A and B are shown apart, each in its own frame.
Chain A
């Protein structure tokens, strides 16, 4: 069998990469007590590693491959999605420090434990677990499928898409099963660096293929001069009252803002909290969110990925990154292989953390407390490993056997995770959010997301209920609809259940935060400025103010000389908004001290969410209740489909 140069380089780089991940996973497993702490590495990872791993998790291949494709498909309005890195960082600086502090004080090892502890509600454990499993199975399946197909194309058909998908899944599984969360986090830092190098390489390649940055912009200008292409270079209004976003060409600012909220959902996901709680201290939060995520990766997205997308737009490519790599396949196969491994690394940063987080949630946050509280630690670890295997298998089967279902389900993961942001805000800041308000709000948000996205619409069609709207009604992403419903439900229920606030541990946390806070009077004076600046940035950067980007730096449909910055005006606006966004995140993180490390030492409390319940054996009553609930739901759906469906 004669191997092509592309295949040889892919095998060579792949082998080095697998050897690296396997070696470090083994080293992580050799640590003292590593087997016992396989599922959670609470307080063990250094801050710099967590900062990098969180950045890699936030972007993964979803943004790296998706953003250029979106720009190539819908034009420069897609570049505004790069600003979602600023929204992600804002979520991070608002909640990460306090989540870490509460976790350290009360010994929480996961988001499920954190929320269930604060709200005294097991509902949050189930909700958080559900979101975690969705990420581990469906969200990773989508990326797995894309990477499998890309490998098949890059290898010139030397390896088919399906075996390639299995191979990538195996590469991930081989180190996660050995090293657990510590390895996933530690290698996340390395994967973050590889991702950054890959994006820089892709940007240089796109610039080279375009004949230079100026030539690319001239080519875009030629496109912009055609009136039919106006929507590719302009935001098409604030909102369009259509049944679904697919019914119109061109993006509205409402779609940009709500999609930004969806992408920022990763910061409110169980994986982000799990990694955060694994940090040894809180020194890396401010730097990680400000300089790594908003600054470095925000810049890479706003300039680099947008440039790759612009190349795709000019080249009328449907898969910008893939086509770019294929063009280099003949002349620089080593480059293609190296970039591909960078993309696999970005995928693994998400997949590995998702798998362990979901396994932790299923075993430690659901099975142990609700079904078998006296399970011994070695069995817990064993069950966790089994769960990692099952979740990986489910993901790869979904990717290879049901790719359409994977896309439909995977699209729900980020908007679902965004619905956990209000409960996290309640934990960190808003004491008036009562447990019923937070839980009902989140469930309402999740249901609304499902009903305004493809999956829910298809499900409703299946049971015979034809919804009068399509995907993302009024050009608002399902995450936006979900958050609106979530906030509305939470506000109403919080207003009528104020007496239930005693259920949550608001007083405990209030006094705890008062003890560890170091906000001086001068910082308090800056609060109103900061919130005003945040609202102004959201309005101008990702909200209706994006319309100014259509003309602020020249006429988007005019001659090249009319583009004042030498780039499409909307892109120039996005770059400006990114710069201002970094300053905003820095201001909130450092000047307002919302993400800077606390100077007070936090001592662990004696009783926390990880404390064991005193029950022996399997809780048969809980198992029966679960089976009845599942059977009831299944019977209801089947019955509805049988009566009304077709």
Chain B
């Protein structure tokens, strides 16, 4: 039954990100390509909503983020920040691209920080990055 729960939660998480993730990627890409910051903002909002949806799924299944999910999220954020910084410093990004990148990174960091702070408290937030099972520990 543990595996069944894992599969069900995983499908729910992938469905959530399949919906909001594709909307987010779409609007961010279109915003950058068409130089329309408002379009990019919709994409950023979709990512935040997707994150909130992930939290709702976690609450429904009584689990927290798995180690893989946390690692993937942090790695994506880290590489995105790195790529954005390098691109900003080495090439001439357009104004919309810069603002989109900054908004996206800020939104992700703020959302993640608020989640950790409200869920575990400021002190306990950092201890969540270790000592949990690969399939997500109980809440």
The distance in angstroms between the C-alpha atoms of A335 and B12, with both chains bound, is 23
In the bound complex, do residue B33 and residue A194 qualify as a contact, i.e. CB atoms below 8 Å apart? no
Expressed in whole angstroms, the minimum distance between the Cβ of B125 and any Cβ of chain A is: 29
Within 8 Å of chain B (Cβ to Cβ): is A571? no
Task: State whether B14 touches A27 (Cβ < 8 A).
Answer: no
Q: Given A190-B18, A196-B19, is A31 in contact with B25 using a C-beta cutoff of 8 Å?
A: no
Complex contact A49–B8 (CB within 8 A): yes
Q: State the majority secondary structure of interface residues on B.
A: helix
Whether the Cβ atoms of A190 and B8 lie closer than 8 Å is no
User: Nearest-CB distance from B130 to chain A (Å)?
Assistant: 24
Contact partner of A193 (CB less than 8 A), chosen from B18, B29, B33, is: B18
Tell me whether A197 and B23 are in contact (CB under 8 A).
yes
A189 touches B23 (CB 8 A): no
Chain A residue contacts of B4, Cβ below 8 A: 31, 44
State the B residues within 8 Å of A (CB).
3-4, 6-8, 10-12, 14-15, 18-19, 22-23, 25-26, 29-30, 33
The 9 closest A-B pairs by CB, nearest first: A193-B15, A31-B3, A193-B18, A190-B15, A193-B19, A186-B11, A27-B7, A190-B14, A197-B22
CB A43 to nearest CB in B, in angstroms, measures 11
User: For the complex, what is the distance from the CA of A28 to the CA of B3, rounded to whole Å?
Assistant: 8
Shortest B3–chain A CB gap in Å is: 5
| 25 A-B pairs in the complex with CB atoms less than 8 angstroms apart | A24-B7, A24-B10, A24-B14, A27-B6, A27-B7, A30-B3, A31-B4, A46-B8, A49-B8, A182-B7, A186-B11, A187-B11, A189-B15, A190-B18, A193-B15, A194-B22, A196-B19, A197-B18, A197-B22, A201-B26, A331-B33, A334-B26, A334-B29, A335-B30, A338-B22
Please tell me if the beta carbons of B29 and A49 are within 8 angstroms of each other in the complex. no
> Which residues of chain B are near A196, meaning CB under 8 Å?
19
Give bound CA distance, A24 to B23, whole Å. 22
A332 and B29 contact, Cβ closer than 8 Å, known pairs A27-B3, A190-B18:
yes
| Cβ-defined contact, A332 with B22, below 8 A | no
Closest Cβ of chain B: how far from A37's Cβ, in Å?
Answer: 12
| Alpha-carbon distance A543/B6, docked complex (angstroms) | 47
* Chain B residue contacts of A190, Cβ below 8 A: 11, 14-15, 18
Contact residues in B for A52 (Cβ distance below 8 Å): 15
CB of A28 within 8 A of CB of B18, answer no
B25 neighbours in A (Cβ, 8 Å): 334, 338
Q: Is B22 a contact partner of A28 (Cβ separation < 8 A)?
A: no
- Smallest Cβ-Cβ distance to B15: which chain A residue: A193
B3 / chain A contacts, CB cutoff of 8 Å: 27, 30-32
Contacting residue for B7 out of A20, A28, A335, CB 8 A: A28
Report chain A residues within 8 Å CB of B33.
Answer: 331-332
Interface of A is mostly: helix
Specify the chain B residue showing the minimal Cβ separation from A32.
B3
Q: Which residues of B contact A335 (CB under 8 A)?
A: 26, 29-30
A183 nearest in chain B by CB position:
B7
Chain B residue contacts of A24, Cβ below 8 A: 7, 10-11, 14
User: In chain A, residues 602-624, which have Cβ atoms closer than 8 Å to a Cβ of chain B?
Assistant: none
Determine which of B11, B18, B30 lies in contact with A49 in the assembled complex, contact meaning CB atoms within 8 Å: B11
Whole-angstrom distance between the alpha carbons of A36 and B90 in the complex? 57
Q: What is the CB-to-nearest-CB distance from B95 to chain A, in angstroms, rounded to a whole number?
A: 20
Collect the chain B residues with CB atoms within 8 Å of residue A20's CB. Answer: 14
- Of B18, B29, B33, the most chain A CB neighbours within 10 A belong to B18
Closest B residue to A27 by beta carbon equals B7
A27 touches B30 (CB 8 A): no
The digit string for A541-570, where 1 denotes a CB below 8 A from any CB of B, is 000000000000000000000000000000
Question: Whole-angstrom distance between the alpha carbons of A32 and B7 in the complex?
Answer: 12
Q: Other than the known A46-B8, A197-B19, A332-B33, what 17 A-B pairs have Cβ atoms closer than 8 Å? A: A24-B10, A24-B14, A28-B7, A186-B8, A186-B11, A189-B11, A189-B15, A190-B11, A190-B14, A193-B15, A194-B18, A194-B22, A197-B23, A334-B26, A335-B26, A338-B22, A338-B25
Knowing A332-B30, A338-B26, say if A31 contacts B11 (CB, 8 Å): no
Shortest CB–CB separation between residue B62 and chain A, in angstroms?
14
For B30, give the chain A residue with the smallest CB separation.
A332
Kindly state the separation between the CA atoms of A187 and B15 in the bound complex, as whole angstroms. 9
- A320-342 interface bits toward B, Cβ cutoff 8 Å, 1 = contact, 0 = none: 00000000000110110010000
Q: How far is the CA of A24 from the CA of B11 in the complex (A)?
A: 8
Measured between beta carbons, the chain A residues less than 8 angstroms from B7 are 24, 27-28, 31, 182, 186
Q: A20: nearest residue on chain B (CB-CB)?
A: B14
Complex Cα spacing A186 to B7, Å: 8
Interfacial chain A residues near B23, Cβ < 8 Å: 197
Min C-beta distance of A525 to chain B, whole Å: 37
Tell me how far the C-beta of B127 lies from the nearest C-beta in chain A, rounded to whole angstroms: 28
> In the complex, how many angstroms separate the beta carbon of B100 from the nearest chain A beta carbon?
15
Contact residues in B for A44 (Cβ distance below 8 Å): 4
